[in-house]
């Protein structure tokens, strides 16, 4: 299926970063794009730029989110919204744990559950779930974020069985470090995190990710690009930590 086979797309986390770039790219390809996020001002700016339809809602509000999807015939769904809190499972508050589970995982489940019946009836659709290299590799801290993204990975793999025999494609989008606002939100100091995580690095841009997504959507109907992992050339993952311990 090429873009011409689809009519309507829904992108969550579209207030900026990767979601905003994907929404803009889809709009340029001729889709009617419903951009979902919590920042109304940024969504309105996005709508002015590309003509998408802005929906300023919190996808953690399950009923509001499912009602929105029920009002649309979504052909392409990009589950991109995500939040992170830096810390281990025992240092995060209950609210910080619940917020990540609600946005990163529970909302994805409910969004797909609401959109999938229409896709099955029309025998047409593409679901793209944004995970992270945190779903594939272990590194210190951000424990709940890792767990929720790994959950989305498992969901994505099993979802292909749920739609088996239908012309519905399912893609996992797994980006490495991308120049977005998430680092500032996680660490609470945008200027310092810009220096720590972005400045001086040949880092991926949101448009690099939207290009990869567009290639998957625009592939022929018999091609399902099931997994997209995107790294900067100068970023690698892996390594081993081994602490020497002396009993006291």
**Closest-CA residue to 80 (of 219, 247, 228, 190):** 228
> What would the pLDDT profile of 78-115 be if each residue is shown by its tens digit?
999 999 998 899 999 999 999 999 999 999 999 999 99
The pLDDT value given to residue 186: 63
In a domain, 235, yes or no: no
In a domain, 8, yes or no: yes
When pLDDT is averaged across residues 192-204 and rounded to a whole number, the result is 81
CA distances from 159 to 168, 195, 226 (A): 10, 39, 11
Provide the number of structural domains found in the chain.
1
In a domain, 238, yes or no: no
In a domain, 136, yes or no: yes
In a domain, 237, yes or no: no
145: annotated active-site residue: yes
In a domain, 76, yes or no: yes
The pLDDT value given to residue 130: 98
When pLDDT is averaged across residues 45-60 and rounded to a whole number, the result is 97
The pLDDT value given to residue 187: 57
When pLDDT is averaged across residues 231-237 and rounded to a whole number, the result is 93
Q: Name the residue range of residue 137's domain.
A: 3-230
- pLDDT higher than 80, residue 21: yes
Among 6, 65, 137, 145, which one carries the catalytic annotation?
145
Residue 147, domain CATH? 3.40.50.720
The pLDDT value given to residue 4: 87
In a domain, 247, yes or no: no
In a domain, 246, yes or no: no
pLDDT band at 247 (very low <50, low <70, confident <90, very high): confident
Residue percentage of the chain with pLDDT more than 70:
96
């Amino acid at each position: 299926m090429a873009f011409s086979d689809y009519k309507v797309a829904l992108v969550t986390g579209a207030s900026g970063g990767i979601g905003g770039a994907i929404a803009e790219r889809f709009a340029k390809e001729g889709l009617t794009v419903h951009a979902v996020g919590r920042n109304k001002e940024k969504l309105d700016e996005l709508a002015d730029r590309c003509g998408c339809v802005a929906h300023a809602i919190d996808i953690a509000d399950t009923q509001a989110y499912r009602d929105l999807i029920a009002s649309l015939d979504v052909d392409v769904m990009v589950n991109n919204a995500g939040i992170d809190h830096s810390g281990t499972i025992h240092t995060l508050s209950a609210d910080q744990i619940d917020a990540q589970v609600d946005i990163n995982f529970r909302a994805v489940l409910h969004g797909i559950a609401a959109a999938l019946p229409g896709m099955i009836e029309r025998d047409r659709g593409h679901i793209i779930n944004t995970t992270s290299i945190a779903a594939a590799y272990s590194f210190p801290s951000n424990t709940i974020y890792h767990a929720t993204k790994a959950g989305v990975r498992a969901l994505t793999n099993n979802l292909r069985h749920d739609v088996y025999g239908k012309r519905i494609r399912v893609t996992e989008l797994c980006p490495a470090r991308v120049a977005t606002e998430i680092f500032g939100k996680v660490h609470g100091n945008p200027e310092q995190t810009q220096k720590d995580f972005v400045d001086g690095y040949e880092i991926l841009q949101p448009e690099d990710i939207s290009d990869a997504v567009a290639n998957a959507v625009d592939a022929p109907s018999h091609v399902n690009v099931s997994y997209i992992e995107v790294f900067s050339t100068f970023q690698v993952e892996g390594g081993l930590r081994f602490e020497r311990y002396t009993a006291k």
